[in-house]
Structure formats: structure tokens, C-alpha cells
Amino acid sequence: MSNPETALAGEPASTLAPRVIRREIWIVLALSLGASAIWSIVTIIGTLTEPGGLADSVQALNSAKAPPERPWYDLARQLVSLALAMAPVALVLHFLSLDRGNPFRAIGLDARRPAFDLLSGAGLAACIGIPGLALYFTARALGINAEINPADLNDVWWAVPILILAALKNAIIEEVVGLGYLVTRLRQLAWSTPAIIAAHALLRGTYHLYQGFGGFIGNVVMGAVFALFYLRWKRTGPLIWAHTLLDIAAFVGYLLVAPHVSWL
């Protein structure tokens, strides 16, 4: 396995000035994951200062957007919300195209290695998912994590398809913006590999902080693993597969299992 520094040594230098890249990064983060991180900090402060704190808190990840008697209106709102959430992804792909040519090829989101992307993504999901579940229950037992409700939808026929699309949406945003785009730009600013890994891991942990300290720790670790993988292989495809599979297991699994067990 080659050194991440060596693996990216041949990356083309940006034609953009460093000050332009820095300004671009701040704009992108303010419109996407950085804004989520700020709201997450505000949310956990509010939770910690409420009676019961994290131990009695419940965080719903995918909620109904209309009353149960209006399922088609709810579906329309769900689809519009998912579509509009892709705007930051389109923005960073546009920015990358200005100095990197084909942005999909530049961040490894093309079809050159489909088998590698799927198999390595599934392997990553398995390696992260099981320890992550154990960490969640441990954090809940210690009272340092909110109870997570991954699927708080009405009883509708389209619940599973919407949850799958939500999982894919989360994966694309976090891996394209937080890894493919951000790591590329930080490399062009001559950041060191440890600094890039730490920055990405802390960002990922912070925008999950609303879940509690267990969610923060778990996502910092996940962020470090994903950043190392990306620096080595320069492909977001496997990471999108891994993230999507993890979220599908959480969202759809909860929807199907929770009504039949008392401990979820």
C-alpha cells in the first residue's frame, strides 16, 4: 500500500489562486456541511440544557412532512426536499470542473472500476457498521447519546423507496462535498495528509454532534477511515456505496424491525 502523499503527488496543480480556493471552500461549507455543523452544535447545546439532557432526547432523522391524511402531498415534499439537497453537490462539481476538467473522473465518481467500488464499499460498510452499532448502544447506556429514530414516516407505501433515496442523498452530499471536493482543494492548498484527515474527521463528527457524543466519536472515526481510503485510492465511488449501504441498513432496518421489538 503506497503512501497517501505519494498516491496524490501527480495531482495537477490548481489554476486558481490560493485566496480564491479558500473563499470558495468557505462558501461551499456555509451552504452545506459547515452549516449543518453549526446547527448541530446549536442543537446539542439546546439538548444538554433541557431537563433530561441527552439521555431523554430523541432525534428523528427522516420525518413526515405532511399529516397522515395527505400522503401524496407528503411524498411531493419529500421528493422536492431530496432534489434541492443536491444543489451543493452540483456547485462543487462545477467548481472542480473549472480547473480539473471532468469533475466525476477527478474525484473517482465515474464508471471505470464498478466492481472495485461496490465490493470495497460493501467491505467498508461491514467493517464500520457493526462497531458503530455497538458504539451507539454503549453511548445510550452511558447517557451520552440521544435516542435515534431513523425512520419517523407515516404508514405509507412509499416509505422504503424514500428512505433508500434519503440514504443515497446523504452519501452523495457527504462524500462528494466533504471528501471529493474538500480533500482536493486542501491538497491544492498544500495541506499535509494528517491535517486533511483531521479536518475531514472533525467536520464529519461535528455535523453529527446533534446525535450526542457517541455519534460524534463514531463519525470522527468513520471520517478518518474514509479520508485515508480516499487519499489512497482517490475514488469517492466506494465511499458512496459504503455510506448508502450503512444508511439503508439503519433507515429501512429500523422501519421494518422497530415495530416488533421493544428495545429500539
pLDDT at 254: 87
Give the mean pLDDT of the chain: 92
The rounded percent of the chain whose pLDDT value lies above 70 is: 92
Query: CA 237, CA 217: separation in Å to the nearest integer?
Result: 24
pLDDT at 66: 94
Please give the average per-residue pLDDT across 58-86, as a whole number. 95
- Name the residue among 195, 199, 208, 164 with its Cα closest to residue 178: 199
Is pLDDT of 13 > 80? no
Q: Phi, psi at residue 59, to the nearest 5°?
A: -115, 115
pLDDT at 14: 73
Under the banding of pLDDT at 50, 70 and 90, the label for residue 261 is low
pLDDT at 188: 95
Is pLDDT of 262 > 70? no
- Beta-bridged to residue 212, according to DSSP, are 145
pLDDT at 211: 96
Under the banding of pLDDT at 50, 70 and 90, the label for residue 107 is very high
Query: CA 144, CA 134: separation in Å to the nearest integer?
Result: 14
